[in-house]
Structure 1
Amino acid sequence: MTESYRKRLWVAAVALAVLGAAVTTWWLLRDHAPYALRKTPAVKVAVRAVKSEYPDVKETADDVEPLVKVYVQRLQAGDATDLARIGAPWYTGREPAAQKLITRYGAHAGEPVEAIVQDRGVPYLTSVKLRFSDGQKQVLELSRDHHDVWWLQLGDGDPVAP
């Protein structure tokens, strides 16, 4: 093996290591959820975990907070198609179910909302009790898929299907 060949091999190995580190960093830092808050309408949602002896309830609350905020925002916006998109993909009838939620809770979503994540003891399921500022209450059932993305159980389906 010539000295020139060894240098090229070494440069290629370093380049491959740098590329691998960059891809790994991108993968770890990217947002895995296929949904995000929009600029409008503004939402006021306080998400917290129920008092529990289990520390993972706080972690679950942190994990589901983006979904809960997106839910309240889509509910407030009144767009059933957008609301249906945060429904678990393995459910059917998401859009009609979303329209029912908008009809029932949409008018309450514009004011501050308190969301209390419950302790279910099942790692891929949780429920969230919403308290709207006018006293209206709602319980959201959420499922987590194999990619650690949380979804709203919306429509007809099996919460543990993924």
Structure 2
Amino acid sequence: MGARRVAAAACALFLGAGAVAWWQLRDPAPYALRESPAVIVTVRAAASDHPDAAEVAEETDLLIRASVQRLAAGDAAGLADLGAPWFTGRREAAEALVAEYRDVADQPVTATVADPVVPDLAAVDLRFTGGERQTLYLSRADGVWWLELGEGDPVAP
């Protein structure tokens, strides 16, 4: 009976550790959407024959929505926090984006993720309701997608 309990405890511990690992792998992003302001962002993959396009659009969805939300809020510091940590000048670049797009980011936005050419890099065409456009460049390191804000090597980490 004691051996069964030990085996059951070991099994429960193993399953619990597996569940924790799965939860952490599910969404490794250190950022999230905030409760406000609410933004309407439609994220889609560009027309492509490659299944990676849809996968990259799905993986970058949270980052794209969070960046539009930070723009709409006028939150340059929060936008800079979405920038790749290995880039410099993130705050200044975020301030420039907020100054340019804050007034249009609170309207519906369409984000089209380009067909990925290089793994761990992505380009996103943002189209704002008023006709303004912005291209976001994204980099992924350790499973986390980041904005390329400021100056840096997109594949540096």
TM-score w.r.t. structure 1 length?
Answer: 0.91
Partner residue in 1 for 2:41: 45
Corresponding residue number in structure 1 for 2:77: 81
- Please give the per-residue CA displacement for 1:115-157, whole angstroms capped at 9, x wherever unaligned: 00001321200000000000000000000002x1100001111
1:26: Cα distance to partner?
2.2
Within the candidate set 29, 52, 60, 2:23 is matched to: 29
- Aligned counterparts of 1:15 and 1:121: Cα–Cα separation in 2: 47
User: Tell me, what secondary structure is at the counterpart of 1:108?
Assistant: coil
Amino acid at match of 1:156: E
Query: Could you tell me which residue of structure 1 aligns to residue 155 of structure 2?
Result: 160
Map Cα deviations across residues 78-125 of structure 1 (whole Å, 9 max, x no partner).
111111110001111111111011001111100000000001321200
- Please state if 1:150 is matched with 2:153: no
State the distance in 1 between where 2:124 and 2:115 align.
9
Alignment of 1:35-114 (within 5 A): 35-114=31-110
* Runs of 5+ consecutive residues of structure 1 not aligned to the other structure: 1-6
d(CA) in 2 for partners of 1:9 and 1:145?
44
Q: May I ask how many residue pairs the two structures share in their alignment?
A: 155
Which of these two proteins has the greater Rg computed from alpha carbons? 1
AA in 2 matched with 1:27: A
RMSD of Structure 2 on Structure 1 (CA): 1.1
Identity among equivalent pairs (%): 48
1:15 aligns with 2:9: yes
Shift of 1:13: 3.0
Which of 107, 117, 122 in structure 2 is aligned with 1:121? 117
